[in-house]
Amino acid sequence: MADHYSNNDQHQRYNERLAKLEERSILALNNSAKRRKPLLKKQLPNLKQFRLKRNLQRIISVVLPFSLILLFMLYIISPLARINQVVVSGNHHLTDQEIEQATQVKKGRFIWGSIAMSPARLQKIQTRNAQIKSVKIVLTGMRSVDIRVKEYDVIGLINVGNQPKLLLSNGKVRPVTGHLEQFIAYDGFKNHYGILKLTAKEVGRLKPAIRNGISEVTYSPTTLDTQRLKLVMNDGNTVFVRADTLAEKMSYYPSIVANTNGKRIINLEFGAYSYGYSSKAK
């Protein structure tokens, strides 16, 4: 009987301890939950802000490229992308219209396609007009461009197929345009384009004062000199000179003339000497 009461007491004490442990556990859980609630309240706005920022970045990454493409397309079809003013500079013989025609840079053309220059495009321009030596197209305003050109000199006239053509300092020819006050007449070069091109380049190297003193250039080869040229000067003298040394030898012409009297024949092929027209020397 005593054992039975003892067992009951022990069982009762065990249940009490278990109840206390459960109570402590529940308390601990409640305390933990209370501590976590403020933390969650603090983290929740940050989480919302992070999600908002991320969504905004996604929207921008999608919308921005399409917006830029749309703006570019609108710009292309708008008047802002078209040229409304063209200025030509550096041309002396060619007209502004000839330059614009050769470069295809005109009012109403797309700006960015007009200012881009490449060797292939320069070649096309020179095909349209052989007198153009170089071209630089500069954007000077939102819708204005400046075409800056360098020309090959016009060094005279030559008949090609019974038609007079302008001879340029690069050896090429082009139709006669504009007014020529002074020009050199070239003859005897038919079927001798190599000599004509060499002669043109050499004449192009002469100083204007000497070049303007030449009236005629005739290809006059001999068995001893296949490059011989005959130059008839405006002062009445006649000069014989090789095509490949024309620029170098003719640079001495003013000093030679200054030391001679009367109209003479001056030979600059090999060395330099002169004689009168009445002389039998050759």
Residue 183 lies in a domain: yes
Lowest mean pLDDT among 50-54, 139-143, 203-207, 240-244: 50-54
Domain that holds residue 174: 154-276
Regarding whether 198 and 241 lie in a shared domain, the answer is yes
* 48 pLDDT more than 70: no
List, for residues 241-270, the tens digit of each pLDDT value. Answer: 999 999 999 999 999 999 888 888 999 998
pLDDT at residue 281 in the model: 46
163/170 Cα distance (integer angstroms) = 19
154/167 Cα distance (integer angstroms) = 6
Top pLDDT among 1 and 80 is at 80
Q: Parallel, antiparallel, or unpaired for β 214-219 and 173-175?
A: unpaired
Sequence-separated (6 or more) residues with CB below 8 Å from residue 111:
81, 82, 83, 139, 143, 145
pLDDT at residue 40 in the model: 47
Regarding whether 168 and 128 lie in a shared domain, the answer is no
Regarding whether 114 and 71 lie in a shared domain, the answer is no
Q: How confident is the model at residue 149 (pLDDT cuts 50, 70, 90)?
A: very high
List, for residues 187-224, the tens digit of each pLDDT value. Answer: 999 999 999 999 999 999 999 999 999 999 999 999 99
Regarding whether 158 and 223 lie in a shared domain, the answer is yes
Regarding whether 115 and 228 lie in a shared domain, the answer is no
Residue 281 lies in a domain: no
- Which CATH number covers residue 194? 3.40.50.10960
Top pLDDT among 143 and 64 is at 143
Top pLDDT among 62 and 232 is at 232
Check: CB of residue 214 under 8 Å from CB of residue 228.
Answer: no
Regarding whether 85 and 73 lie in a shared domain, the answer is no
Regarding whether 108 and 21 lie in a shared domain, the answer is no
Of the candidates 77, 110, 136, which is a domain's last residue?
77
Q: pTM for this one?
A: 0.68
DSSP characters for 220-241? ---SS-TTEEEEEETTS-EEEE
Residue 52 lies in a domain: yes
Question: Measured between alpha carbons, how far is residue 268 from residues 154, 239, 262, 265, 282 in Å?
Answer: 25, 7, 18, 10, 12
Top pLDDT among 100 and 34 is at 100
Of the candidates 151, 183, 203, which is a domain's last residue?
151
Residue 88 lies in a domain: yes
Q: What is the mean pLDDT of residues 136-155?
A: 92
45/268 Cα distance (integer angstroms) = 98
* 80 pLDDT more than 90: no
Of the candidates 130, 151, 172, which is a domain's last residue?
151
Q: Parallel, antiparallel, or unpaired for β 154-160 and 163-168?
A: antiparallel
List, for residues 83-124, the tens digit of each pLDDT value. Answer: 899 999 999 889 999 999 999 998 888 887 788 888 898 999
Top pLDDT among 177 and 178 is at 177
Sequence-separated (6 or more) residues with CB below 8 Å from residue 239:
230, 231, 233, 250, 253, 265, 266, 267, 268
Regarding whether 99 and 55 lie in a shared domain, the answer is no
Q: How confident is the model at residue 23 (pLDDT cuts 50, 70, 90)?
A: low
Q: How confident is the model at residue 8 (pLDDT cuts 50, 70, 90)?
A: low
Regarding whether 179 and 265 lie in a shared domain, the answer is yes
pLDDT at residue 46 in the model: 65
Tokens matching residue 183: 């020009």
Q: How confident is the model at residue 33 (pLDDT cuts 50, 70, 90)?
A: low
- Which CATH number covers residue 125? 3.10.20.310
